Structure 1
Amino acid sequence: MMARTHIAFAALMMVACSVGILQRMPQVHEVALAGAAGLLPDLDHPKSTFGRIVPYISIPIAKVFGHRGFTHSFLMVALIIWLLLTYREQQNIPVLPLVIGYFSHIIGDLLTPSGVPLLWPIRKKFSLNIFKADGPMEHFIYRGCWIGVGYFLWVALQRPGDLWIRPAHMAVSNWCVAALEQSATMLVHLLRIMA
């Protein structure tokens, strides 16, 4: 999965969790943190977005574990949760967006043919093989994620008593309709190509 799709998928997961499970409007910083955390597992690739920012971390991780190794496993997710919960009190760390963003990356890569070693140190890679990275289906998923974010925000804006947010609601609704129309056109085009 490409970096922009990881960001969009992480944002969708954060907004969906916030609205659908926690029953509250997500904070902007939570969505931004989730999006950034959605790129963290690729620290094991020196040419990734974060790998280029911190090559002194990325290069050693890549040499020891390789790309889509330890950083793409349940063990790493458990380690991150443990570290965040351990230092949350002292540092006031927002645990949920970081965990959701990180885990969303692993789910995203699980959908590609390359797969991920979920049970690392067992090196067997698991893959649902739904789409190739940077292919037409990923572009469709990228747009779908942002449509999903818009949908969950629209649901959150429907709460009774919030009459002052009607203009924002209308703007989000109009954006969702336009995005759906564009995605439908893209899907028809994609289906014609695949036929």
Structure 2
Amino acid sequence: MIAKTHIAFASLLMVGCSVGILGRMPHIYEVAIAGAAGLLPDLDHPKSTLGRIVPYISIPLAKLFGHRGITHSLLMVGLVIWFLLTHPGEREWPVLPLVIGYLSHILGDLLTPSGVPLLWPVRKKFSLNLFKANGPMENLIFLACWAGVLYFIWVAMHRPGETWLQPLRESLWQWGQAQVIYSSGRLAEWVVTLVRALA
């Protein structure tokens, strides 16, 4: 994914989590933090949006791990959570927006052909290969993410109840079933690859 789609995807997940799971409207700063955190894993790329802002961090990361290395792994997600929970400082970190934003980036890149090394230091990259980065499909996803953000905000503001949520749940259920069927073959390949890599 490119930067603008990562921001939109992170924002959608933040708003969806707040409204759909926590049952509250997210604060604007939470959505903004999640959107910014959606760019954090690309600090390992000096030409990325954040990499150009902090090259003194990005360049060493790129030399040590390369692009889409440790920063795109579940290990790094765990380290981020650990750091946020054990180093509160003077004020508590906005843990939920930061974690949602960071994780959204990894999920977004998982959908592209390049994939991500979820199990780093195992260097095998996992990919659902659903669309190419910066292609026509990604442009549609970008628009769909912001449409989703508006939908969740509309749901929260109007509180329409079960009548309005039921069509969304049915659509998500059908989409989920289709994704499970599509991904089952790839999941089997990942398991075989992981077993071989660890053998």
Q: Give the secondary structure class of the aligned counterpart of 1:129.
A: coil
**TM-score, normalised relative to structure 2:** 0.79
Partner of 1:143: 143
Tell me the equivalent position of 1:123.
Answer: 123
Q: Partner residue of 2:24? A: 24
Structure 1 residue 89: deviation in Å? 5.7
| Structure 2 match to 1:45 | 45
Number of residue pairs the alignment of both structures matches: 160
The aligned residue for residue 169 of structure 2 is: none
Q: Which residue of structure 1 aligns with residue 7 of structure 2?
A: 7
- Give yes or no for contact 1:110–1:126 (8 Å, CA) kept in 2: yes
Shift in Å, 1:90 = 3.3
**Could you tell me whether the CA contact under 8 Å between 1:6 and 1:104 is conserved in 2?**
yes
After TM superposition, give the deviation of residue 84 of structure 1 in Å.
Answer: 0.4
Moved over 3 A (4+): none
Task: Quote the sequence identity (%).
Answer: 75
Q: Equivalent residue for 1:99?
A: 99
Q: Structure 2 CA distance, aligned partners of 1:133 and 1:31?
A: 23
Q: For structure 1, which runs of at least 5 residues remain unmatched after alignment?
A: 161-195
Distance 2:131 2:159 in 1: 36
For 1:8, the aligned partner's letter is: A
2:159 corresponds to: 159
1:119-138 deviation digits (Å, cap 9, x = unpaired): 00000000000000000000
Give how far 1:158 is off. 1.4
**Could you report, residue by residue, the CA deviation over 1:92-151 in whole angstroms, capped at 9, with x for unpaired residues?**
211000000000000000000000000000000000000000000000000000000000
Aligned partner of 2:62 in structure 1 is: 62
Paired residues of 1:109 and 1:115 also in contact (CA < 8 A): yes
Are the counterparts in 2 of residues 88 and 94 from structure 1 also a CA contact under 8 Å?
A: no
For 1:136 and 1:159, the matched residues in 2 are separated by 34
Unaligned 5+ segments in structure 2 are 161-199
Distance between the aligned counterparts of 1:66 and 1:113, measured in 2?
A: 17
Q: What secondary structure, in the 3-state scheme, does the structure 1 residue paired with 2:18 have?
A: helix
Structure 2 counterpart of 1:78, which letter? G
Matched residue, 1:134: 134
TM value normalised by structure 1: 0.81
